[in-house]
Amino acid sequence: MITATGEQLGVLPTAEALDRARESGLDLVEVAPNVSPPVCRIMDFGKFKYQQKKKQHKTHVHHTKLKEIRLRPKTGDHDIEFKVNQARTFLSHKDKVVVSVVFRGREMAHIDEGHRVMKSLIEKLTEDAKVESGPQQMGRRLTCTLAPR
């Protein structure tokens, strides 16, 4: 048997070990049941389980996801601000963000307007993200990838 302070008491009968645990206001926990004689320890079992769960939670690995934000060249300022805030939440969760400006119909004649929207969005996110791949045009889309800092 081992006390809460780590002191070894040796082999004790079960009843006496339980009495000592009750006196100290803690629990008697069987630490090594397969050993002869089994080893028990006086400890706070609730606290022990909490620490075990906390250790298990630390080993959890976050898998980076790819989130997309779509805009249009004529998207309003308030809508862009809303999308910036959404991108910030994605970046705070350590996810990458793909920003897409989609052109339709005659908007293809004003690609510079799409570049302006993209540039303003990147400037607003400079402190939260780094540009992983700059603005590139692929057909009717202008895309840019942002990674969290």
Domain chopping of the chain, boundaries: 14-58, 66-148
Reduce the DSSP state of residue 90 to 3 states and report it: helix
Fold equal for 14-58 and 66-148 = no
**The pLDDT value given to residue 139:** 92
Judge whether residue 7 has pLDDT over 80: yes
Please give the model's pTM, rounded to 2 decimal places.
0.60
Integer angstrom CA distances of residue 17 from 24, 31, 49, 143? 11, 14, 21, 68
Q: Could you tell me what percent of the chain has a pLDDT over 90? A: 65
Please, which residues bridge with residue 145 across strands? 98, 133
User: Which amino acid belongs to residue 137?
Assistant: Q
Reported as a single tens digit per residue, the pLDDT across 55-79 is 888 777 778 899 999 999 999 999 9
Both structure tokens of 34: 């397969």
**The pLDDT value given to residue 33:** 87
C-alpha to C-alpha distance for 78 and 89, rounded to whole angstroms: 17
Average pLDDT, the chain: 91
Reported as a single tens digit per residue, the pLDDT across 15-71 is 999 998 998 899 999 888 898 888 999 999 999 899 888 888 877 777 889 999 999
**The pLDDT value given to residue 133:** 92
Yes or no: domain 14-58 corresponds to CATH 3.10.20.80? yes
Mean pLDDT of 127-135: 92
The pLDDT-based confidence of 131 (bands split at 50, 70, 90) is: very high
The CATH homologous superfamily for domain 66-148 is Translation initiation factor 3 (IF-3), C-terminal domain (3.30.110.10)
